Amino acid sequence: MRAYFKLNFEILYWVLIAPFLGKPFKITSVLHEMINIGVQAIPMASLTAFSIGLTLAMQGAHELAHLGATSYTPNLVIVTLLRELGPLLIGTVVIGRSGSAVTAELGTMKVSEEILALQVMAINPVRFLVVPRFLAMLIMLPVLTVFGNYVGMLGGWSICHFALDMNTTAYITRLIDNAQPMDLYSGVIKSFVFAWLIITISCQAGLEVEGGAEGVGKSTTNSVVTSILAMLIANALLTGFFFFFE
Amino acid sequence: MSETPIIEVTNLVRKFGTHTVLNGITFKIEKGDVMIIMGGSGCGKSTLLAHIIGGAKPTSGSIKLFGEEITTMTDDQLAKHRLRFGMLFQSGALLQSLTVGQNVALPLIENSHVAPEIVDLVVKMKLELVGLTGFENLKPAEISGGMKKRVGLARALAMDPELLLSDEPTAGLDPIMTAVVDKLTLDLTRKLGLTAMIVTHDMTSAFRVGTKMIMLGGAGPKQGTIIAQGTPDEIRNCKDPEVQQFINGEPDGPVALKLSKSDYLSSLLHEPEL
């Protein structure tokens, strides 16, 4: 736990203070990691978001049909997506795809003495390896979440349009009428917090690997489990927080 | 000698729990020396090296690099100090995500503000030095173990260090390549005044390049202490049976063949150990 907070402080130092002392991080590596973490996750994130929008609309329409209120399906889809399921599921996808990969990569580097070699070359591993991944995650997870929200809306549309015979214009108007800016903001703030948790937990787990391939495996499992747990707790807290402050 | 020694280790002790790995190690390396650290597997050679590069903190004792105490240094001070030496790791420890050329260029790009053209030039020169010109664009996964080690050496030399630390530089190399690496070490130290500290098991290579030697004790009460120290000739003529066993490569002697303390027969017959 102490090591985790120490890592957080080191990251903040290298991001916020060191660049002004003439020790910058590399923008190119940040871009490189943004492609790894963000761009390459688009297919998986789209698939998840689409299927969630679709199933939400299906379930919602089924239940709302009892009340004769199927026309409210878009309202249900948009609020659930923006506030809860969008950030949470995209976060889960990114934990599975990138969080685990970051832990495994850093862990393997630790085991094969690459991190020690960096230190001996007077290259700080936090600046060189962690900071680019941290910034990339902080930028890309919210971006992916917003993107996922749109794809989810498309999933909802496919049900509303083909199964409920709803007019596309009506669907879009209902979405726009019912979504408040705060719904979007709360989702994006959540995904920002998730990004912070995911990447710091994954990097920390990677850097403390010991004991060969088995250690890498254990740490990777640990990092995924801890990330998901931390994300769920943070989600509950933030949902409560947003209810309280509106 | 009036000059400050490059490395001065005084009474270094390191314990892991109750197990003492290094026990009162004391030695000096002067400028231009090629110090060979020998000893059986598990005698603490790598631990000693880890302490000298500042990767581990000793239980007690002092380590001075270039005349300055490193055991009490902050990370920042240590980083500045580390620019003055290069280290060759046993496995090469190249970054897998970078090409050979980028690996060699890494310390230059990260630690100095040299123009890219100069970096390119230095990379070519260092790779030529280890006979790997033309391999710049391959990934470490695409070259052999021996080549990785040579790239590691080129990287260690990229910053033109005053001190070269090598962890088994010739293990896993064929005899010809071993001779090449030895000749390179000799050239660098004899002609350019580089100081080197080499951890090795390879006796041929050790006697070829070494000007000073230290042998660490393996098993028993001498574990983790220096059992012999001196020039290659002194080591060769050393009467200590453990030293003789080691440099002549005999299977049994003071260092027993068997590492296990329990009785073989009783373990076979499942008798409880005493």
pLDDT in tens, A45-67: 999 999 999 999 999 998 998 98
- Which residue ranges in chain A fall short of pLDDT 50? none
If one counts every other C-beta atom within 10 angstroms of the C-beta of residue A241, the result is: 14
Residue B254 has pLDDT above 80, yes or no: no
Q: Work out the average pLDDT over B185-214.
A: 87
User: Which structure tokens are listed for B208?
Assistant: 């070829």
Query: Identity (one letter) of the amino acid at A134?
Result: F
Residue B257 has pLDDT above 70, yes or no: no
Residue B138 has pLDDT above 80, yes or no: yes
Nearest-CA distance from A116 to chain B in Å? 8
Which residue would you say has higher pLDDT here, A126 or B170? A126
Q: Tell whether A35 is within 8 A of chain B (Cβ).
A: no
- CB of A223 closer than 8 Å to CB of A158: no
Rounded Cα distance between A169 and A180, Å, is 19
Within 109-148 of A, beta carbons closer than 8 Å to B belong to 109, 112-114, 116-124, 128
> Could you tell me whether strands B212-216 and B195-199 are parallel, antiparallel, or unpaired per DSSP bridges?
unpaired
Percentage above 90 pLDDT, chain B: 12
Q: Work out the average pLDDT over B117-125.
A: 91
Residue B253 has pLDDT above 80, yes or no: no
- Sign for the CA dihedral angle at B140, B143, B145, B150 comes to negative
Token pair 């010739």: residue: B170
How would residue B16 be classed by pLDDT, with cut points 50, 70 and 90?
confident
Q: Given this model, what pLDDT does residue B2 score?
A: 56
Which residue would you say has higher pLDDT here, B103 or A23? B103
Tell me which residue of B226, B231, B229 sits closest to B210, measured CA to CA: B231
Residue B108 has pLDDT above 70, yes or no: yes
Residue B78 has pLDDT above 60, yes or no: yes
If one counts every other C-beta atom within 10 angstroms of the C-beta of residue A123, the result is: 20
Tell me which residue of A160, A224, A113, A244 sits closest to B87, measured CA to CA: A113
- Chain B residue with Cα closest to A26: B110
Q: Work out the average pLDDT over B96-115.
A: 89
CB spacing of B95 vs A114 below 8 angstroms? yes
CB spacing of A123 vs B106 below 8 angstroms? yes
Residue B223 has pLDDT above 90, yes or no: no
User: Which structure tokens are listed for A29?
Assistant: 């590596």
Residue B179 has pLDDT above 90, yes or no: no
CB spacing of A114 vs B107 below 8 angstroms? no
Tell me which residue of B124, B195, B143, B199 sits closest to B164, measured CA to CA: B195
Q: Given this model, what pLDDT does residue B272 score?
A: 62
List chain A residues with CB under 8 Å of B53. Answer: 116, 120
Q: In what order do the strands lie in the sheet with B212-216?
A: B85-88, B163-167, B195-199, B34-38, B212-216, B226-230
How would residue B219 be classed by pLDDT, with cut points 50, 70 and 90?
low
Residue A209: left if φ>0, alpha if ψ -120 to 50, beta else—which one? Answer: beta
> Could you tell me whether strands B7-16 and B19-29 are parallel, antiparallel, or unpaired per DSSP bridges?
antiparallel
Record the pTM: 0.87
Residue of A112, A120, A124 with shortest CB distance to B91: A112
Q: Tell whether A17 is within 8 A of chain B (Cβ).
A: no
Q: Given this model, what pLDDT does residue A91 score?
A: 95
Q: Given this model, what pLDDT does residue B258 score?
A: 65
- Chain A residue with Cα closest to B165: A120
Q: Given this model, what pLDDT does residue B1 score?
A: 47
Residue B147 has pLDDT above 80, yes or no: yes
Q: ipTM higher than 0.85?
A: no
List Cα–Cα distances, B11 to A90, B67, B176, in angstroms. 56, 16, 38
Nearest-CA distance from B248 to chain A in Å? 31
List chain B residues with CB under 8 Å of A122. Answer: 79-80, 82-83, 107, 110-111
Average model confidence (pLDDT) across chain A:
92
- CB of B161 closer than 8 Å to CB of B108: no
Site from B80, B82, B95, B113 to mutate, A interface, most A CB atoms within 10 angstroms: B95
End-to-end CA distance of chain A: 33
CB spacing of A123 vs B55 below 8 angstroms? no
Nearest-CA distance from B53 to chain A in Å? 7
CB spacing of B55 vs A113 below 8 angstroms? no
List chain A residues with CB under 8 Å of B93. Answer: 112-114, 116-117
